[in-house]
Amino acid sequence: MGGLSKKAFQLKKIQKLHELPYLVLDAGNLLFKQERLSPGLLMQAKITAEGIIDSYNLMGYDAVSVGKNDLAAGLSFLQEQAAGSKFTWLSANLVSKSNQTPLFTPSLIRKVGSLSVGIIGLTNYDGSSRFQENEDAVIVPWQKVLPKLVADLASKCDLLILLSNNGTKQNEEIAASFSNIHIIIQSTPGSRNTEPLLKNNSLIAQIGKQGKYLGWMLVNWQKSKIWGRTGATKELALKKQELDGIIGRISRMERRAQENLTADASYQNLIATRERLLSEIILLENELFDLKESGQAPSTFENHFIALDINLPDQPDVEKIVNATKQRVNQAGRSQAAEVNRIASKPELQIENLGFTGWQTCTACHTAQTEFWQRTDHASAYQSLAEQGQQFNLDCLPCHVTAEFKDLKIGDNDTALLSLPAALQQVGCEVCHGPGKNHATSQKSSAISRRPEVSICIRCHTSERDETFNYNNDIEKIACPASQR
Amino acid sequence: MRRSVIMLIVLLSLIAAEIQAADFSESGEQNLLLFYSNDVIGETEPCG
């Protein structure tokens, strides 16, 4: 959630700088990481979701479309949250199974400066049902709802925006079908920063996942309601830029010239280019002026991505919400830990049954190696989490303890992470070398992995968490001294 | 007197609404800022 306070700061900064009317929109997949959550993760994930909504309320969001991941804690949870949100949750195609009425607001109209802007939300449709038997809900394909809705809004609005949880292919089909949807903002799994793509008369925009960026556009919307297709505006800007360069070169030549330049071929070429560019610029400016006069001037945009870098300033009120949310998550984890301890007699939750033994067992035979390891950050990984008050946060824990992701991250066992014995409360030997119980008993080297594969490291050293991680370089920093045995 | 004041208020509000509604069709252009985001969940930061 850390990026939210930085995003809030940038939003205010840009709004203040430009002093223009604005809209703040989100295309969904806002609250949860997956379509389904295991019961153990649900409590903490819900608290985080509430914190995100509180932050969005403060940031002045206008609308968010319902993404399929936003339904992970159940339809009723999202409906409760929607009722308490200051922004509007939009979905035109998430409807009641019994009577086909929308379960969320399908669309809204906002006055932005002199414009009436229509905004529609779409939830991802892939044909599968993600609802419980007792939930009266179904997602219908966009073809069933958009034609009527777009026709209605197009007659009332100057600009029409679709927030779509569908993939690029479906959004391109939508763009091809409706020339009066002018902007499509999409949320798709694995999304990354992409310059807005013009399809038919729709700009399709998206930014990278995990809230690492804020996208914004400065839009000049014209009565023509069409995006610049001739490229005249861009061409004009390029020609002006080229002309600046030519004029600069001409001036430098004239300053340095010892004699008359009339006989200098390169100088004459530059003069000829300058004249050509000037006449082309005048023609383009006339063309654009005529288009504008006739109401046919194309609309234009400038797109920007702001990386929400860790060093950027935070908006204090949103930062306060983020910190309070993290505290609530940790507190919930602490209560879960007490419950896990109470039921820890279940064999599937007993950590020794997962094959681990703890780093102290390794010390007996590998003293130099464990002494070296104790000086690395891996040894204090859990401690550093505790110092941040996040040692019960199930989002953080998997990368700060000795455990196997496949056993502890997914399924009902995830909460077992909350009650690990002290011997496993660090990124210990067995994270890199694999569970060591068999090796400790048999002392066979075949029962242990000598060097961790890159796949093990990048479970935690992802590009999001560790941008500078380089397996070949970093493996040397944690490589244990050679064994004497 | 009271009726006249009410009528005046109604008239003024109608004029104001007309001015507001008419301006895009008159000026023919509008600059605006559009902030957008997607797939926000999963925002990461150092846990500890």
pLDDT per residue over A330-365, tens digit each? Answer: 999 998 887 766 665 555 545 566 688 888 899 989
Q: Which long-range contacts (CB under 8 A, 24 or more apart) does A154-158 make?
A: A154/A118, A154/A180, A156/A109, A156/A116, A156/A118, A157/A109, A157/A115, A157/A116, A157/A117, A157/A118, A158/A115, A158/A116, A158/A117, A158/A221, A158/A225, A158/B24, A158/B30
Average pLDDT over residues A115-133: 88
**Does CATH number 3.60.21.10 belong to domain A3-227+299-307?**
yes
State percent of chain B over pLDDT 70. 40
- Given a cut of 90, is residue A202 above it in pLDDT? yes
Nearest to A18 among B33, B36, B45 (CB): B33
Put simply, the chain A residues between 95 and 124 with a CB less than 8 A from any chain B CB are: 111-116
Instruction: Give dist(CA A14, CA A18) in Å, integer.
Output: 6
Nearest to B31 among A218, A292, A387 (CB): A218
How many C-beta neighbours within 10 Å does residue A463 have?
12
Average pLDDT over residues A202-219: 87
What angle (nearest 5°) sits at the alpha carbon of residue A150, between those of residues A122 and A115? 100
Q: Which residues of B touch A388 (CB under 8 A)?
A: 47-48
Average pLDDT over residues A56-60: 96
Q: What is the pLDDT of residue B42?
A: 59
Q: What is the pLDDT of residue A84?
A: 93
Q: Which residues pair with A304 in a beta bridge?
A: A216
pLDDT band at A79 (very low <50, low <70, confident <90, very high): very high
| Alpha helix stretches (DSSP H) within A257-365 | 265-293, 316-342, 359-363
Instruction: Give dist(CA A308, CA A214) in Å, integer.
Output: 7
Average pLDDT over residues A445-474: 83
User: A152-156, A190-194, A349-353, B28-32: lowest mean pLDDT where?
Assistant: A349-353
CB pairs under 8 A between A and B: 175
- Given a cut of 70, is residue A423 above it in pLDDT? yes
Put simply, the chain B residues between 1 and 48 with a CB less than 8 A from any chain A CB are: 20, 23-25, 27-48
For chain A, the average pLDDT equals 87
pLDDT band at A238 (very low <50, low <70, confident <90, very high): confident
Q: Which residues of B touch A158 (CB under 8 A)?
A: 24, 30
Q: What is the pLDDT of residue B20?
A: 44
Nearest to B47 among A23, A216, A393 (CB): A393
Q: What is the DSSP string of A168-236?
A: HHHHHHHHHH-TT--EEEE--TT---EEEEEETTEEEEE--STT-EEEEEEEEEETT--B--S-HHHHH
pLDDT band at A113 (very low <50, low <70, confident <90, very high): very high
Q: CA of B29: how far to CAs of A96, A226, A304, A366, B35, in Å?
A: 40, 12, 21, 74, 19
User: A60-64, A202-206, A296-300, A314-318: lowest mean pLDDT where?
Assistant: A296-300
Question: Each residue of A430-444: pLDDT tens digit?
Answer: 999 988 888 888 877
Q: What is the pLDDT of residue B7?
A: 61
Burial class (CB in 10 A: 0-12, 13-18, 19+), A315: buried
Nearest to B29 among A23, A183, A222 (CB): A222
Q: What is the pLDDT of residue A346?
A: 53
Question: Each residue of A80-112: pLDDT tens digit?
Answer: 999 999 999 999 999 999 999 999 999 999 999
Nearest chain B Cα distance for residue A15, angstroms: 8
Q: Pick the residue with more confidence: B45 or A474?
A: A474
Q: What is the pLDDT of residue A237?
A: 83
Strand-pair category, B29-37 with A88-90? unpaired
- Given a cut of 70, is residue A190 above it in pLDDT? no
CB contact under 8 A, A23 and B44: no
Q: What is the pLDDT of residue A394?
A: 85
Instruction: Give dist(CA A181, CA A201) in Å, integer.
Output: 7
Phi/psi of residue A346, nearest 5 degrees = -65, 130
- Given a cut of 90, is residue A78 above it in pLDDT? yes
Residue at A349: amino acid letter: L
CB contact under 8 A, A189 and B46: no
Nearest chain A Cα distance for residue B5, angstroms: 29
Nearest chain B Cα distance for residue A22, angstroms: 4
Nearest residue of A to residue B26, measured between CA atoms: A223
Of all residues in chain B, what percent are helix, strand and coil, respectively (each to 5)? 55, 20, 25
User: A228-237, A404-413, B39-48: lowest mean pLDDT where?
Assistant: A404-413
Instruction: Give dist(CA A30, CA A472) in Å, integer.
Output: 35
Nearest to B38 among A3, A29, A386 (CB): A29
Nearest chain A Cα distance for residue B8, angstroms: 25
Average pLDDT over residues A18-41: 90
Q: Which residues of A touch B32 (CB under 8 A)?
A: 20-23, 112-113, 115, 218-219, 221
- Asked if A390 and A326 touch (Cβ cutoff 8 Å), the reply is yes
Q: What is the ipTM of this complex?
A: 0.80
Question: Each residue of A136-181: pLDDT tens digit?
Answer: 899 999 999 999 999 999 999 999 999 999 999 999 999 999 999 9
Phi/psi of residue A75, nearest 5 degrees = -65, -40
Residue in this structure with the two tokens 């067995």, named with its chain if needed: A430
Phi/psi of residue A390, nearest 5 degrees = -125, 20
CB contact under 8 A, B36 and A205: yes
Average pLDDT over residues A46-67: 96
Tokens of A4: 């939210």
Domain locations in chain B as residue ranges: 1-39
CB contact under 8 A, B38 and A395: no
Q: What is the pLDDT of residue A262?
A: 84
Q: Which residues of B touch A464 (CB under 8 A)?
A: 42, 44
Fold of A345-478: Flavocytochrome C3; Chain A, domain 2 (1.10.1130)
- Given a cut of 70, is residue A76 above it in pLDDT? yes
Strand-pair category, A63-65 with A88-90? parallel
Q: What is the DSSP string of A231-286?
A: -HHHHHHHHHHHHHHHHHHHHHHHHH-SS--TT-HHHHHHHHHHHHHHHHHHHHHH
User: A209 Cβ partners below 8 Å, 6+ apart?
Assistant: A189, A190, A191, A192, B38, B39, B42
Domain locations in chain A as residue ranges: 3-227+299-307, 232-293, 345-478
Nearest to B41 among A30, A217, A399 (CB): A30
Instruction: Give dist(CA A182, CA A202) in Å, integer.
Output: 4
Nearest chain A Cα distance for residue B16, angstroms: 13
Average pLDDT over residues A115-131: 89
| Alpha helix stretches (DSSP H) within A26-137 | 39-59, 75-84
Q: What is the pLDDT of residue B12?
A: 56
Q: Pick the residue with more confidence: A423 or B22?
A: A423
Average pLDDT over residues A297-303: 88
